[in-house]
Homo-oligomer: A and B are copies of this chain.
Amino acid sequence: MANDIVKPSILPGFMELLPADQILFNKVMDTIRHNYEKFGFIPLDTPVMEKSEVLLAKGGGETEKQIYRFNKGDTDISLRFDLTVPLARYVSQHFNDLNFPFRRYHIAKVYRGERNQKGRFREFYQCDIDIIGNGKLSIINDAEIPSVIYSTFKELGFEDFTIRINNRKILNGFFESLNIENKGDVLRTIDKIEKIGEDSVVKELVELGIEEAAVRKVIEFIKIKGSNDDVLKSLEDLGVANEIFKEGLEELSKVVHYIRCFNVPEKNFKIDLTIARGLDYYTGTVYETILDNYPNIGSVCSGGRYDNLAEYYTKQKLPGVGISIGLTRLFYQLREANILGENASSTLSQALVIPMEDCIEDGIKTANNLRKNGIVAELYLEEGKINKKFGYADKLKIPFVILVGPEEIKENKVTIKDMASGEQKMVSFEEAVQIVK
Interface residues of A (CB under 8 A from B): 3-11, 14-19, 22-23, 25-26, 37-51, 53-54, 57, 68, 70-73, 75, 77, 88-90, 92-94, 97-99, 101, 103-104, 109, 111, 113, 123, 133, 136-138, 140-141, 144, 147, 151, 258, 261-263, 310-315, 346-349, 352, 360-361, 364-365, 368, 371, 376-379, 381-383, 392, 395-396
Cβ–Cβ contact A43 & B18, under 8 A: no
Chain B residues with CB below 8 A from A26, complex form: 43
Contact of A383 among B11, B40, B54, B138 (CB under 8 A): B138
Cβ–Cβ contact B364 & A258, under 8 A: yes
Given known A5-B313, A39-B378, A77-B11, contact A97–B18 (CB-CB < 8 A): yes
Chain B residues with CB below 8 A from A4, complex form: 312
Cβ–Cβ contact A37 & B103, under 8 A: no
Cβ–Cβ contact A140 & B315, under 8 A: no
Question: Which of A89, A99, A137, A144 has most B Cβ within 10 Å?
Answer: A99
Cβ–Cβ contact A22 & B43, under 8 A: yes
Beyond the given pairs A7-B54, A16-B45, A49-B111, 10 more chain A to chain B contacts, judged by CB atoms under 8 angstroms and listed by A's residue number, are A6-B54, A8-B90, A11-B47, A11-B77, A18-B94, A40-B352, A40-B376, A99-B392, A144-B379, A261-B365
Cβ–Cβ contact B364 & A262, under 8 A: yes
Given known A40-B377, A98-B19, A99-B392, contact A49–B346 (CB-CB < 8 A): no
Chain B residues with CB below 8 A from A88, complex form: 8
Cβ–Cβ contact A137 & B382, under 8 A: yes
Chain copies in the assembly?
2
Cβ–Cβ contact B42 & A314, under 8 A: no
- In whole angstroms, what is the CA distance A53 to B138 when docked? 53
Show 12 A/B contacts (Cβ-Cβ < 8 Å), sorted by A.
A4-B312, A5-B314, A6-B53, A10-B51, A22-B44, A22-B45, A68-B70, A138-B382, A147-B368, A151-B371, A261-B365, A262-B364
A419 CB, nearest partner CB in chain B, Å: 14
- In whole angstroms, what is the CA distance A136 to B136 when docked? 64
Chain B residues with CB below 8 A from A123, complex form: 47-49
List the 8 shortest-distance A-B pairs measured between CB atoms, nearest first: A40-B378, A70-B70, A8-B93, A6-B57, A40-B349, A8-B313, A14-B47, A8-B92
Chain B residues with CB below 8 A from A90, complex form: 8, 16
A144 CB, nearest partner CB in chain B, Å: 7
- In whole angstroms, what is the CA distance A347 to B168 when docked? 32
Cβ–Cβ contact A45 & B25, under 8 A: yes
Cβ–Cβ contact A348 & B11, under 8 A: no
Query: Which residue of the partner chain B has the closest CB to A396?
Result: B99
- In whole angstroms, what is the CA distance A19 to B144 when docked? 22
Cβ–Cβ contact B361 & A261, under 8 A: yes
- In whole angstroms, what is the CA distance A151 to B103 when docked? 34
Query: Which residue of the partner chain B has the closest CB to A131?
Result: B381
A432 CB, nearest partner CB in chain B, Å: 16
- In whole angstroms, what is the CA distance A7 to B71 when docked? 20
A417 CB, nearest partner CB in chain B, Å: 17
Contact of A39 among B15, B263, B371 (CB under 8 A): B371
- In whole angstroms, what is the CA distance A104 to B101 when docked? 40
Chain B residues with CB below 8 A from A46, complex form: 10, 16
Chain B residues with CB below 8 A from A8, complex form: 54, 88-90, 92-93, 310, 313-314
Given known A26-B43, A314-B5, A348-B37, contact A50–B16 (CB-CB < 8 A): no
Query: Which residue of the partner chain B has the closest CB to A58?
Result: B3
A305 CB, nearest partner CB in chain B, Å: 14
Question: Which of A57, A73, A133, A365 has most B Cβ within 10 Å?
Answer: A57
Cβ–Cβ contact B6 & A312, under 8 A: yes
Cβ–Cβ contact B140 & A381, under 8 A: yes
